Chains A and B, each alone.
Chain A
Amino acid sequence: MTIQEWWWQVYELTLASLKSRYRKTLTGMLWVVANPLLMFGVQSLVFKKFLRLDVPDYYLFLLGGLLPWIFITQTIQMSTPTFVNYTQLMKSFKIHPHVLIYSQILDNFVNFIITFVIVLIPAYFFYGMSFTHLILIPLPLLSLIIAVTAISAILSTLNVFFRDINFILGFCFSLLFFLTPIFYPIEFMPAEYRWMVNLNPLYHLITPMRDIVYGKIENDFFVHLGKSYTVALGSSLISIGYWKLKRNDLYARL
């Protein structure tokens, strides 16, 4: 298949799944956006007002970390059962299974962008965010989407062999949520624990994004960006290798 043919398939699948989810209504759209907004509302209430974390511009700080975190975890959890869900289709005739993953990711990405814009517009006016910073957003977004796609493809394949992956994944994400500096800055962590963060690929995907939203673009922004692209590249390579290795078993076990 050429890239164009890939794109036609992914595009039409995505369009169809958006359609089937929202049935073209605005209410359906609101439903999807409500989840991250509520999450954000509750967390900012608890951490800022109740626990009184001492972080300047806390809302912006939380927003920059939480939105990508929700995108990553939700997308991965939604994509993991993809191959199992499409068993019949995948066995009926030849399609490239990754097409199904890509459309699932694109679908979630559209939601993410909508949520992001809805939240960012008020933040932009309240906090006077710098427009030149915001222009940089596609850079971390690209690495984020590449990494999430690769991880989803790996896990969706793994899920064919071990059907309880998604269940375990949900559990792991809820543990990781506390161990990843999202609602608190990494400086709150004692130095002897920081290795955990350095080994956490999700953290590296989130930081450059937060640098931009939080308006903290300094020299290390490009270091952060480099790390996030390293994660994206690494997971892509693993994903390609794993697909080559497991392709026959995948079809046999579906």
Chain B
Amino acid sequence: MCLGIPGQITAITDPTRMMAMAEVSGVRREVNIAPIVTGALEDVIGKWALIHVGFAMAEIDEDEAEKTLEALRGLGEAQETLEAMAAGDAALEGRV
């Protein structure tokens, strides 16, 4: 649970709350981008970040994103994170 997963920021969804849409291994998830914003919010669109429990914690380059994702897949952590995201969605809808 201590490892971040790489994701690409695709759009700003709620500027007040610093929320953005990220694509994580083919799954779309809204994340908080406060830790990686240093200038205009829009500047992070298209950037890759390590996402940990819904927060973009560090900006990384695409090559690093690819390498990290491969390492996480090897450990089964990528799948675990995607399952946790699905569980989070289900919890919001009261399906669990």
Q: Do A and B come from one complex?
A: no
